[in-house]
């Protein structure tokens, strides 16, 4: 008996961290801060066994004036876009926010539990496709 192709799909990660690799600060000619942030997060994830965390570099999250920019997304969860992150100082915040996001059923981390940069830098949140919204 053949299996459905869906049965062979690897489990979706609880969180995918998208990092824009292409933004630039006007004052830093040639430097791509998102690439520096991406490399640092990738290095930190390589030393962990968190299979529920995935990392992807992307070209533009349409928040070009607020680098570094990232998005946190996961199945059945709200997607958060966050900007104004620092390429070096925000590495721990990105990992902390991603792990807290992954641990929620809906992606909503209480404001007080978010790292400081994720309290200040939220640009938007987008509802999940797969769940009905409360009050809708
Ligand atoms: S180039 Fe980074 S958000 Fe547009």
- CB-side neighbour CA atoms (13 Å) of 92: 3
Domains of the chain: 12-126 (3.40.30.10)
Atom of ligand 1 nearest to the CA of 83: 3
pLDDT for position 130: 73
Average pLDDT value for residue range 8-15: 76
Q: How far is the CA of 25 from the centre of ligand 1 (A)?
A: 10
Average pLDDT value for residue range 120-129: 96
Atom of ligand 1 nearest to the CA of 34: 2
22 lines ligand 1 (CB under 6 A): yes
Distance CA 76, CA 31 (A): 35
Say if residue 81's pLDDT is above 90: yes
Residue 123, by phi and psi: left (phi above 0), alpha (psi -120 to 50) or beta? alpha
13-26 tens-digit pLDDT: 999 999 999 988 87
61 lines ligand 1 (CB under 6 A): yes
Q: Residue 122 pairs with which residues in a beta bridge?
A: 82
Q: How is residue 118 annotated by DSSP?
A: H
- Name the more confident of 36 and 3: 36
What percentage of the chain reaches a pLDDT higher than 90?
A: 73
């Amino acid at each position: 008996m053949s299996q459905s192709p869906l049965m062979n799909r690897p489990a979706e990660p609880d969180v995918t961290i998208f990092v824009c690799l292409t933004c630039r600060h006007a004052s830093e000619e040639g430097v791509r801060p998102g690439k520096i942030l991406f490399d640092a997060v990738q290095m930190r994830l390589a030393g962990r066994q968190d299979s529920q965390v995935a990392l992807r570099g992307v070209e533009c999250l349409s928040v070009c004036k607020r680098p570094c920019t990232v998005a946190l997304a996961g199945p059945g969860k709200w997607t958060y876009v966050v900007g104004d992150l620092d390429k070096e100082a925000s590495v721990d915040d990105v990992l902390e926010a991603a792990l807290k996001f992954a641990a929620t059923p809906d992606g909503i981390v209480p404001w007080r539990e978010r790292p400081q940069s994720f309290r200040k830098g939220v640009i938007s949140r987008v509802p999940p496709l797969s769940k009905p919204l409360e009050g809708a």
